[in-house]
Structure 1
């Protein structure tokens, strides 16, 4: 099947989970024999891997001088798709996230499928984004333009792929979409690469001056309010009263506010900010931590949670979005109410104190995570493509 995969994010240009999704799904579909033409933004200095069998790239013009540079990408996209179809028509157009449908005319006669990772309108409501902020942040997803595009995108798509039941229900309730139009296909991860030797773990701890303490891990965009880092830092201060522990914070984004908060809370000596790390190093951090904490206010899926599962780690996470679909309380993690610092602190402390429970939960996660892998995801997606093209 010839598939046009339209994505503004693709490694090495990654903003969040959508970029990881794009890379993983396309590579696994290619292994199944599908031919993918990936339409990516032509960003100066960004080079895409062109050596994968069954994958080609088409770079679509953007103009960084525009207030919203993705607009330029979408405007040039139809011409690029039509140019490609001069050789052979596409069987499927797959959009990774909201895009393009600010115009009524579709870009191909092939079925249009869109993957929705989360609703932008949920982000605006969850973060209580002010009108002034939405005006100033014209480039971001909380601008006035993006929710309108989201609505058009969801209504115009032939079919919708949701990454969780939570997101599916949000789409139905927010935009009054028929449930038959939406199919849930969970995200996955690469389950390989988590088996580090104890010697490697110890050496990394020593290099980072983490030897001797228990380690709590946070992974997410540092300055994204949805990820709940500010809340976690306040909770971590309480944990330090009883335990000698370090908090490792991994992720992109401006660290200034978080660093200043850790200074004011007098916990900075126990908090390590790594910034963005490579995939190999990220897996190593998951493997060396004692507890993974996800304090999010909103999660359309929760990719970092299944990454922690793959490392066999106990998890403490907020009971929001799709997270309860991934974690069963006290079986493969602890669920706490969003914003409830007492529950968060007591759950972390319980795992630090009781190694038996911690190890048991970690072992349960090693079993649970097997259902979340990109290869199985791609096989399900491939079957779904076949069904859609026959309708």
Structure 2
């Protein structure tokens, strides 16, 4: 099949889960012999370095960042038909989130699938961002997306939800019929890294003294949905009891978070690493004793699966689609989502590491069995084939 994937985020412009999704689903669909034409943001010319993938870069990265996505939408609107004709036509169009916003529904157009990572209306209700935050994040689900989700749904022939939680949210919030939505769980990048004892100890010592445990958090640090402030509060309550270092890996402006850490006197115990490379992330997942998700909104919880693939026990709040990914068999799934509940879970795991290390060992097998980008791509391909066959009748 000739598949057009419309995704604002695509390597090297990847900032979150949508970009990770686009990269992996495109590569696995291409590995199945499909021709992938990716329409992504960025000024970089040339093909993406993967067999069967051609990437067209749209928009102007030379503009101020708030104008990047409007420039992408404008270029998509102007260029889509030209690219389609040049390639000989597409069998199906797949839109990643609201990347496809500026592409109108056309008569006799190929069938369209829209991948929905969340209900933007639900995000707004849970996070309750200020007007300033909505303006600052106007190009994502906390900004203008709630205004346009209904339009995307109407234009689409089929919706792919990344979890049953997202499906139910779309049914309730946008009145989408259940039959229009297919649930295809995300896969994950395998972050398991074999290390010899010497390499392992040297890697740990780069971040913490030998007597210290290591707790890992991965997520955008200035995204309130990730609940980092809650984790820091919980950590401060038990840091003397658990004797651990908290490592925070993720992009975003660190100014406010550094001030917050200083105000609690946690400078020696919390390390803000910023955005890290994949290789560094492999190392962090391998050397940590515990992975924590303190999010109060997650549609899926990709980092949890990554951590489990690295044989780590997890702590997560039971919100959104998290319970589709983990249970108490994988660590601690918190029903008590309070600061004290989170603090208690940290103390429980770090005081009983032998028990939870055994859970971590089992987590890898669980993650490999349940979640796979290859499996997700196969389901997407079958869905697309069914739409194409109906379209041709």
Normalising to structure 2: TM-score of the pair?
0.93
* CA positional deviation for 1:276: 0.8
Contact 1:37–1:58, Cα closer than 8 Å, also in 2: yes
* CA positional deviation for 1:139: 4.4
Q: Trace 1:122-133 onto structure 2 (pairs within 5 A).
A: 122-133=122-133
Matched, 1:350 2:338: no
* CA positional deviation for 1:67: 5.3
Q: Trace 1:289-304 onto structure 2 (pairs within 5 A).
A: 289-304=288-303
Structure 2 equivalent of residue 154 of structure 1: 153
* CA positional deviation for 1:118: 1.3
3-state SS of 2:240 partner = coil
Query: What count of residue pairs does the alignment treat as equivalent?
Result: 387
Q: Trace 1:3-82 onto structure 2 (pairs within 5 A).
A: 3-43=3-43, 46=44, 50-62=48-60, 64=63, 68-82=67-81
Distance 1:104 1:116 in 2: 18
Distance 1:67 1:178 in 2: 34
Structure 2 spans left out of the alignment, 5+ residues: none
Structure 1 residues 292 and 213, CA, compared in 2 at 3 Å: closer, same or farther?
same
Structure 2 equivalent of residue 360 of structure 1: 358
Structure 1 residues 280 and 108, CA, compared in 2 at 3 Å: closer, same or farther?
farther
Structure 2 equivalent of residue 305 of structure 1: 304
Greater shift, 4-13 or 73-82, is seen at 73-82
Distance 2:182 2:49 in 1: 32
Contact 1:102–1:153, Cα closer than 8 Å, also in 2: no
3-state SS of 1:268 partner = coil
Structure 2 equivalent of residue 214 of structure 1: 213
3-state SS of 2:242 partner = coil
Contact 1:196–1:284, Cα closer than 8 Å, also in 2: no
Distance 1:155 1:239 in 2: 50
3-state SS of 2:262 partner = helix
Structure 2 equivalent of residue 340 of structure 1: 338
Distance 1:327 1:190 in 2: 17
Distance 2:132 2:23 in 1: 35
Contact 1:191–1:373, Cα closer than 8 Å, also in 2: no
Structure 1 spans left out of the alignment, 5+ residues: none
Structure 2 equivalent of residue 134 of structure 1: 134
Contact 1:102–1:149, Cα closer than 8 Å, also in 2: no
* CA positional deviation for 1:211: 3.1
Normalising to structure 1: TM-score of the pair?
0.93
Greater shift, 291-300 or 252-261, is seen at 252-261
Contact 1:113–1:157, Cα closer than 8 Å, also in 2: yes
Greater shift, 131-140 or 74-83, is seen at 131-140
Distance 2:285 2:299 in 1: 21
Q: Please, what is the CA RMSD of the aligned residues?
A: 2.0
Contact 2:192–2:311, Cα closer than 8 Å, also in 1: no
Greater shift, 97-106 or 276-285, is seen at 97-106
* CA positional deviation for 1:146: 2.3
